[in-house]
Amino acid sequence: MVDYPGEICATLFTAGCNLRCPFCFNRDLVLAGETLPAYGETEILDFLKRRARQLDAVCISGGEPTLQQDLPAFIVRVRETGLKVKLDTNGTQPRMLELLLTAELLDYVAVDIKAPRNKYAELCGVPVDYTEVLSTVTLLRHSSVEHEFRTTFVPGLLQAADILAIAAELAGCSHYVLQKFQPSDTLIDPALKSVWTPQLEEMEDLAFRCRKYVQIFELRGF
């Protein structure tokens, strides 16, 4: 009841990612996906069919799902179970997203916006073509599919000014979420386990300043 707002969903994780965000808590999915237990498509679909009465939706996350070239065909089969489909993506593969949107295969899309333009490589751990991320933003801004853009606020890596810059880049978008960073033992950069926790009051002040740019600005987890 967390991954898809308002829906009871099962979450599927795909291995592999084109980014190396130091604050990512799915280290093994990103760096060592081949060592994790794998589930075949038939096994997954059978699981969903057995639970179709208890579930509303499926969330496909990662890693980065849009790197999977058979993603459209898989989603077609998931939708045949009668479940809605939500996609979690880092927004760097707009052509795959456009294909999925054109085929009307998605009911909800969540895009992680890692940082403002000048900090993107730093927060992603690798060089990123920021124009691809902007293409993703444009696709969704003009789409009828429900969506959200979200940023994980990592103290020390991002400042309030960075979040304001992202909100300004997303001006006119319907929904922007600022997520609380959750330290864990599975971070790509273990040094981030000890970062300080921002005060709720300063986050609420930041939210107030960001709301002039987007229709809905949400604090999540604070």
**Would you say residue 138 has pLDDT above 90?**
yes
CA 46 to each of CA 78, 81, 127, 129, 181: distance values in angstroms, whole numbers, following the listed order: 10, 9, 39, 38, 34
72 burial (CB, 10 Å; 0-12 / 13-18 / 19+) is middle
Average pLDDT value over all residues in the chain: 95
Over residues 172-221, the pLDDT tens digits come to 999 999 999 988 999 999 999 988 888 899 999 999 999 999 999 999 99
Do residues 153 and 23 make contact, with C-beta atoms less than 8 angstroms apart? no
Per-residue model confidence (pLDDT) at position 168: 96
* Structural domains present in the chain: 9-220 (3.20.20.70)
pTM equals 0.95
**Would you say residue 91 has pLDDT above 90?**
yes
CA-wise closest residue to 13 among 3, 1, 21: 3
